[in-house]
Amino acid sequence: MSEDSPYIHAITVRFADTDAEGHVYSGSHFVYCDEALMGLLAAAGYSWKQLADRGMAVYYAEVTCQYKQSARFGDRLLVHTMVDKVGNTSFHSRMRIIAEDTGALIANGFIAAVLVDKAADKPISIPDNVKQALRKFQSAG
């Protein structure tokens, strides 16, 4: 993913995000990636609430994070987010968590998400209009 990511979500590290050593706790990176993906969906016109109002939900099938460098309380982070792939029932997204002041790579994230019919609690085909909206956030490269 290039620095001109299709979607960028800003995070300020909260005290609650840190561990006893003062670093961002590893699990907080997953929250940052989740927040960024939810922000991307909202920017695409399909927020969690908008999907829920249509009887749909987004379930995460796989979430990974590769840690590169630590961040601390008060740091401002930019979560560069893009859609990698849009399939029939799922889509993949990649994130790069970058320190805003130094440009240092803090972590790489990945989420494989599945669109689900809330009532049936089963995967459904992603509607064409949702696919088109997600594809606007794919990298050109």
Query: 118, 78 in Cβ contact below 8 A?
Result: no
For 42, phi then psi, to 5°, come to -65, -40
Between the two ends of the chain, the Cα-to-Cα distance in Å is: 8
What is residue 1's predicted lDDT score, i.e. its pLDDT?
Answer: 39
Query: 136, 80 in Cβ contact below 8 A?
Result: no
Domains and CATH numbers, the chain: 7-135 (3.10.129.10)
**Blockwise average pLDDT, block size 10, the chain, 141 residues:** 74 96 95 98 95 96 97 97 97 97 98 97 97 90 52
What is residue 3's predicted lDDT score, i.e. its pLDDT?
Answer: 46
What is residue 4's predicted lDDT score, i.e. its pLDDT?
Answer: 62
Residue 74 CB neighbours (<10 A) = 10
What predicted TM-score, i.e. pTM, was given to this entire model? Answer: 0.93
What is residue 28's predicted lDDT score, i.e. its pLDDT?
Answer: 96
